[in-house]
Amino acid sequence: MSSEKIATRLYIEQDLRAGATIGLDHSQAHFLRSVLRLEAGVSLGVFNGRDGEWRAEIEAIGKGWVSLLVHEQRRPQERSQDLWLVFAPVKRARIDFIAEKATELGVSRLQPVLTRYTDVSRVNCDRLAATTKEAAEQCERLDLPDVREPITLPRLLETWPSERRLLLCAEAGDATPITEALQKIAGVPGPLAAMTGPEGGFAPTELDALMQLPFVTPVSLGPRILRADTAALAALTCCQSMLGDWKRRPAFRT
């Protein structure tokens, strides 16, 4: 493991190995040259979600292009927590906020779901993916969440893997406080997902249908009505603090 000081971290698509030379795309080159004002010889951290994180040096830099030389591995690849977030899309600034903070909180998949009261019908998944990339670079993740295309609630449930427990954050009806629910399922093996609804809440018929499914556990997030983005982050925080990877610490600071 290398702890040499690095200027920034970048997610790249190319394979990583000692001695490899990598040419960055125009946007990354612009970021390094014009925003961070870096020069040749500066060390960066690079990762691709497969090969761990490596130290790379700016070999040459020009207007619109940068060449990197890969040196040694800084951290081996780690498997992320298998935690999904299923959420009803909200307006642009708030959906970007959900994507950014969910990435920082360690989710492995972001699945927008279209419900009866969802106001937003189109989701720019390319923009969400770009947001998750920037968040992963900042928070020292070694991979990116899988950003899925929006899907209707009926279709989601038809294709749902029955072994994955779905925590339904229900604003109405019978529901167990989320911390109590997590304590009860702590000893039950299997992957987990959290699901939050739109600003208008789930339709009563949707809640009734969801609560009949054996893999669904309705949970409460407290006595106050939370905004959709707040609810998503509250649910993820509880999941990670009780059943997730929050017992670990960063390997090093750069």
Q: How many CB atoms lie within 10 A of CB 243?
A: 15
pLDDT at 170: 87
Mean residue pLDDT of the chain comes to 91
Residues 198, 121: contact at Cβ < 8 Å?
no
Residues of the chain with pLDDT under 50: 1
User: pTM for the complete prediction?
Assistant: 0.91
Q: Which of 78, 66, 196 is nearest to 136 (CA)?
A: 78
Q: Which helix (H) or strand (E) holds 126?
A: helix 125-139
What amino acid is encoded at 180 in this protein? E
Looking only at the bridges linking them, the beta strands covering 21-23 and 65-75 are antiparallel
Distance from C-alpha of 197 to C-alpha of 116, rounded to nearest angstrom: 10
Sequence-separated contacts (24+) of 1-5 with Cβ below 8 Å: 1/73, 1/74, 1/75, 1/251, 1/252, 2/55, 2/71, 2/72, 2/73, 2/74, 3/74, 3/252, 3/254, 4/43, 4/55, 4/74, 5/43, 5/254
User: Using CA of residue 49, residue 96, residue 226, residue 211, what is the dihedral sign?
Assistant: negative
pLDDT at 189: 76
pLDDT at 3: 55
pLDDT at 91: 87
Residue partners of 118: CB distance under 8 A and separation at least 6: 88, 89, 198
